[in-house]
Structure 1
Amino acid sequence: MNGYQRMIALLVAPLLLGAAAARAADQLVPGTKLLLKSANGREVLSFKSTGPFTPPTPGSGDDPSNVGASLQILNPGTSESFTFNLPQAHWSVSGTTFRYVDSALVEAGKVKIAIIGRILKVSGKKIGITLNEPTQGTLDAVFTTGSIRYCASFGDGFVKRDEPGRFIAGKAPAPGSCPGAPPPTTTTSVPGTTTTTSTGTTTTSTAPTGGCNCCCFSQLSFTTGLPQIGTGGCANTGGTNVGSVTDDSGAALCNLAAGGLYFGGSGVGVPLPAEIPDMGQSIVNITACDTPTGALTLGAATDTDSGSNRNCTAAGVNNPEYPGKPGCLFGPPLPIPNTNSAATSTCVVNRVSTNASGSGNCGDGSSAINIPLLSDIYLTGPTDGLIPCPRCDTNPGPGFTCQAGPNSGQPCTPGNSASLGSSYPTSHDCPPTSAAFIGSLPIPFALSTATQSMTAADLSAQPFVFCGFCGQQFSPSFQGPPAVPCTSDSQCTVAPNTKCRQRNSGAFGQGPARTITSSGSPAGVCIDDGATHASTLVSVFCIPPTFNPTVDGAGDLPGPGAVGLPGESQIVSPIPACTTSTTIAGGTTSTSLASTTSTAVATTTSTSLLPACGSAPFPVCAGTCPGTQVCTPLTLTCACM
């Protein structure tokens, strides 16, 4: 190696080492077994890898007993996927082995057992994806805990049975890369073209500048706007509709408003909808980015990433406001006043129970974010009536102070707008009294700018059941806690809770409800300008019982839930390497990723700090170069890498 080459190596080596460190979060593992089976109303899932792999470090940010975990099954051919969330509450650790146990199948993914230590294993009673196609072809499995992804792929040559209702594969070698993230690349920007070198391949393509490219940003933010619920409840007069509840004929029974929270069955005793306040910000990390397609892979942001425990999206984050209740806070405290019965009013504090994950697209601002929550319920109505969450207000002034609760009289910062009504503004600086806490509800929250729907089933104990839980036939009593979700009576085997049912059939005060549909809306334009863009996220989900008779009676729980969040999406946190211009020996070069064809934010290394040969004032290299030509900044000569 000559002097010029040594100098180039010294300049580039730190970048390559940084890329290698970032790639360590993805572990490519052999697939020992993958079984998915659906027959006669019963489903079976089994995934196993005997390694080799490196398990998480106990007590770290990758420890599933601290942050939870997830298993994603996806079909790369059809893009169909399903994520099984494994909340931290079910994990335990012994030595270097982590075990997940949910024998009662409380969680929606119905994963019964998971182990990661000497082996990686997940088994449960739900397959997630459909198996109604003639064949699946290839299925990928991604187990995520904290920043680590363990990736396996089961494809051609390793599939034993592939037919409708059944997929069995095994003894598959480790894949070349994890799904959703292109192989690590070294990209050299050359005027007018981009040369991208991947493992075993080199391609050159022209990528015009000025295209839609979010790869110079590391985070995506969404902030809720003012609710648009209008008046008249289901009529939603003067509001903005994002969905509806319909009967068997397709006729609308209830309009779902933007900014409204709906819950319960036909017997709900709380006026709906409840308002979702504005100013609630949530930030996710962009963990991978592809310029040609605009595809974004999204992951959880910790409080260190986002700057606060009040806008991050990771589990296990400490909340000094709520001791012993970890998980990033999702929005400000949510008051649910009940004008029909003030004593049953509640204050809800939402926090993240499993690390957020999802996908998006830079080209139109669309996104789908899976962010399971624990909703902490505080029954404050008996003492605080129709102002169930302590307000942060200027009475007596001049500054904002907590008006009630354990921090009464202390300074605070409003978390939403006073214009929302007499229950606002609220703030996490003003938590409700801990004595009013009655329990936490696991909410399988999956937000999307697309359309979500849920269809009711007619079961033996009830017709029009959206969200079944094992309970008694003639009494609103349910097995638990924890509650046991179900789709048929056969899953309810503990007497006397042998019937699959809701508290009352239907949805949101409507008895003969068959379908709940809610439609989000993306920005509709390229969002790479870093500006805010109007969009709406929606979710349709199931709510278990709280096992508090007062709250369950008023909210008619268990039952379905739906929410539409109008607001603004925005890419934030520019990556310095994408925007910093560096002057080298009289010339200036900019490391703009807008000219590259493909970028993995955590793994791409750009060598454009070394200018292309032939660009002024640098000379043109004589002859040919078997590698990449770059100019050395000190001697203004060309060298090969």
Structure 2
Amino acid sequence: MAIMRVLPVVLLAAGASAQPVPTVPTLPITIPITIATTTSTTSTTSSTAPATCTCTGGTPTRQSFTTGVGTGSCGHLDADGNPGFFPLACGGLYFGGAGVSTPLPSTIPDLGTTVTNVSCNGTALTLSGTTPADTGGNRCSGGTNHHNACASNADCPGGACKFLTCSNAGCLFGPPLPVPNGSHSGAATSTCVINTVAANGAGTGDCAAGTTTSYNLPLGSALFLAGDLMPMRCSGGTAPGANCTGGGACGTTTACPGGGTCVNDTGRCTDNGGPCCSDGDCNVGATCESAACVGGTNDGKGCITAADCPGAGAHCRTFIQPCPICDPTTNTCDGGPNNGLTCTPGASPVDGDFPTSHDCPPATSLGIGTLSIGFKLDTGTITQTAVDTADQVNVFCGFCKNKTLNSFARKCDGAATGANCTGDGNCPAGQHCLPIACNPANGNADCAAATGFTSCGQRTSGAFTSNDVARTIVETGSPAGSQTTGGAAQPQTLVSIFCIPPTFNTLVDSAADLPGPGAAVLQGTVQLQ
């Protein structure tokens, strides 16, 4: 006859003390465990052997991915009856509908490293987020301990501790991302984007194939409407690249240290490459553009895109710096609140708006809000197909809107029945003023309760270009192949397609055509450790 007894067992949860995770108090937890006894038989138990990792080189604990300079094409857009009409560049960031006026793509910075924790079963990898303490390499930005190591903001009086390579919530993702608007007279709507991980990274992979599958890394993208921070910059002297713009913006100067010359860093005329601040500085029929061709038959002349720069290897180099620059010659910040302070470049000088660095942040006064981005990375081929609703065709991303005014709802906590708001201050404590996301596959049903904003759609149909109205976005990643724990870094391409909400800044939403779809291709290297 079996006799059942319930015994209380007390487990202690040990507190964590490493920064920035707060200390968790020790808690007694009482769990009833049922034990069966018998007078006539003896029971035996067996245990399953722990999972065995078969990755070459041993069991890994970490994986790091570092962005590189993108080359070639890694995807395309399809339109109805017009497949592959628009290529998507590797290393490029795309955003907006067919009405976007900002020339695309924006360049994704290289040298951005993200480290994940890894557990292994056979060749299958489980990827999870790392803490600032796991990865180290964090630095103070600003304050009395600028550019020195830190574990938390407490180590950075007057500044902030920047968590540079980890992948848990609160860690930074990549260097500051400049988004210059090189369209004619569009520089004023250029932005600097600081991406911060919004929730701990999580996904899967395989060390035999070198794949990453659905690595979920939601981002909070803080936008700074900076325009061009440095219309005039020093050439030569002891502070090359420093801002020397006078009080009258382009064309006015201040002295450059060490005998340098203050030169125009705003624009070039399209006919003869002469420095210019506006079209009036150029000959009749020519325009002043915020970039110049490097190489080719139009070398030195103003340009908007690479198409304006014919010739092998020629490209269009921007003069717009929406993010402060970490000068690679002097290793000091040019522009921003940390102007003149020591910095380490976070990217290569691949264009005129680089290298950026978290040692050189934009001024907080330029901030216009933070966008929630559902960033999910994969080495496979991913697609997103637009749907037609009763009110709009070719919709990739839905937000509740007034279809007549083409304006979008803002409600407390982003709820259709929430109170109207213009900022968090209009909402109850703990709530935020947000747009209302909706699924266009449901038609307008998700917006039925959003009075005045009962249509589900995006600002303009399509994606990324006015060449045609896109129906499908296709992004193609590439795996690294067989990985060896502790081996050399190997090429890998990660891709993501996502939705971008409105900023509710009229200038930015018009130039970027938001809300709408977004796509990114991160071409770089991966290493199993």
TM-score by length of 1: 0.53
Q: Summarize deviations over 1:138-189 as a string: whole Å, max 9, x none.
A: xxxxxxxxxxxxxxxxxxxxxxxxxxxxxxxxxxx9xxxxxxxxxxxxxxxx
Q: Secondary structure at the match of 2:509?
A: helix
User: What amino acid is the match of 2:395?
Assistant: V
Asked if 1:545 is matched to 2:502, the reply is yes
User: What amino acid is the match of 1:290?
Assistant: N
Q: Matched residues in 2 for 1:460 and 1:200: separation?
A: 61
Asked if 1:303 is matched to 2:132, the reply is yes
User: What amino acid is the match of 2:131?
Assistant: T
1:412 to partner: Cα distance: 0.5
State the partner residue of 1:483.
435
Asked if 1:528 is matched to 2:458, the reply is no
Match of 1:343 among 188, 193, 203: 188
1:453 to partner: Cα distance: 1.0
Q: Summarize deviations over 1:574-615 as a string: whole Å, max 9, x none.
A: xxxxxxxxxxxxxxxxxxxxxxxxxxxxxxxxxxxxxxxxxx
**Native 8 Å contact 2:483 2:528 kept in 1:** no
Match of 2:403 among 461, 473, 476: 473
Q: Matched residues in 2 for 1:568 and 1:464: separation?
A: 35
Q: Secondary structure at the match of 1:278?
A: coil
State the partner residue of 2:120.
289
**Native 8 Å contact 1:333 1:350 kept in 2:** yes
State the partner residue of 1:501.
457
User: What amino acid is the match of 1:300?
Assistant: G
1:426–1:364 CA distance, 2 compared to 1 (3 A): same
Q: Summarize deviations over 1:519-542 as a string: whole Å, max 9, x none.
A: 111112233352100010000000
Q: Matched residues in 2 for 1:378 and 1:366: separation?
A: 34
Q: Secondary structure at the match of 1:251?
A: strand
1:249 to partner: Cα distance: 2.8
Counterparts of residues 100-499 of structure 1 (less than 5 Å): 200-201=46-47, 212-213=55-56, 215-228=58-71, 240-249=72-81, 251-286=83-118, 288-291=119-122, 294-309=123-138, 327-340=170-183, 341-368=186-213, 369-381=215-227, 383-384=229-230, 386-394=320-328, 399-418=330-349, 420-480=350-410, 481-487=433-439, 488-492=443-447, 493-499=449-455
Q: Secondary structure at the match of 2:62?
A: strand
**Native 8 Å contact 2:229 2:324 kept in 1:** no
1:220–1:550 CA distance, 2 compared to 1 (3 A): same
User: What amino acid is the match of 2:120?
Assistant: C
Q: Secondary structure at the match of 1:296?
A: strand
Counterparts of residues 594-605 of structure 1 (less than 5 Å): none
Q: Secondary structure at the match of 1:265?
A: coil
User: What amino acid is the match of 2:226?
Assistant: T
1:213 to partner: Cα distance: 3.3
1:322–1:353 CA distance, 2 compared to 1 (3 A): farther
**Native 8 Å contact 1:215 1:290 kept in 2:** no
Q: Matched residues in 2 for 1:353 and 1:204: separation?
A: 33
1:323 to partner: Cα distance: 8.0
1:553–1:203 CA distance, 2 compared to 1 (3 A): closer
RMSD over equivalenced CA pairs, Å: 3.5
**Native 8 Å contact 1:214 1:362 kept in 2:** no
1:421 to partner: Cα distance: 1.1
- Structure 1 unaligned segments of length 5 or more: list them: 1-51, 67-94, 97-117, 119-172, 174-198, 229-239, 311-316, 573-641
**Native 8 Å contact 1:56 1:62 kept in 2:** no
1:248 to partner: Cα distance: 2.1
Q: Secondary structure at the match of 1:305?
A: helix
Q: Matched residues in 1 for 2:452 and 2:403: separation?
A: 9
**Native 8 Å contact 1:318 1:327 kept in 2:** no
Q: Summarize deviations over 1:175-226 as a string: whole Å, max 9, x none.
A: xxxxxxxxxxxxxxxxxxxxxxxx7246799x9x9x6436532100000011
Q: Matched residues in 2 for 1:568 and 1:324: separation?
A: 23
- Structure 2 unaligned segments of length 5 or more: list them: 1-9, 34-44, 140-150, 164-168, 232-319, 411-432
How many aligned positions are there?
Answer: 368
User: What amino acid is the match of 1:483?
Assistant: P
User: What amino acid is the match of 2:133?
Assistant: T
Q: Summarize deviations over 1:493-547 as a string: whole Å, max 9, x none.
A: 2221111010101000145211111111111223335210001000000000111
1:417 to partner: Cα distance: 0.6
1:537–1:318 CA distance, 2 compared to 1 (3 A): farther
1:203–1:411 CA distance, 2 compared to 1 (3 A): closer
Q: Matched residues in 2 for 1:478 and 1:410: separation?
A: 41
1:324 to partner: Cα distance: 11
User: What amino acid is the match of 1:393?
Assistant: D
Q: Secondary structure at the match of 1:343?
A: helix
Q: Matched residues in 2 for 1:438 and 1:535: separation?
A: 34
User: What amino acid is the match of 2:363?
Assistant: T
**Native 8 Å contact 2:138 2:161 kept in 1:** no
1:380–1:53 CA distance, 2 compared to 1 (3 A): farther
User: What amino acid is the match of 2:493?
Assistant: T
**Native 8 Å contact 2:20 2:132 kept in 1:** no
1:261 to partner: Cα distance: 0.3
1:393–1:470 CA distance, 2 compared to 1 (3 A): same
1:247 to partner: Cα distance: 1.1
Q: Matched residues in 2 for 1:520 and 1:537: separation?
A: 5
1:477 to partner: Cα distance: 1.2
Q: Secondary structure at the match of 1:347?
A: strand
1:437–1:214 CA distance, 2 compared to 1 (3 A): farther
**Native 8 Å contact 2:229 2:323 kept in 1:** no
Asked if 1:566 is matched to 2:496, the reply is no
**Native 8 Å contact 1:466 1:559 kept in 2:** yes
User: What amino acid is the match of 1:328?
Assistant: C
Q: Secondary structure at the match of 1:381?
A: coil
Q: Secondary structure at the match of 2:335?
A: coil
User: What amino acid is the match of 1:289?
Assistant: C
1:474–1:298 CA distance, 2 compared to 1 (3 A): same
State the partner residue of 1:193.
none
1:479–1:58 CA distance, 2 compared to 1 (3 A): farther
Q: Matched residues in 2 for 1:559 and 1:55: separation?
A: 45
Q: Matched residues in 2 for 1:252 and 1:560: separation?
A: 17
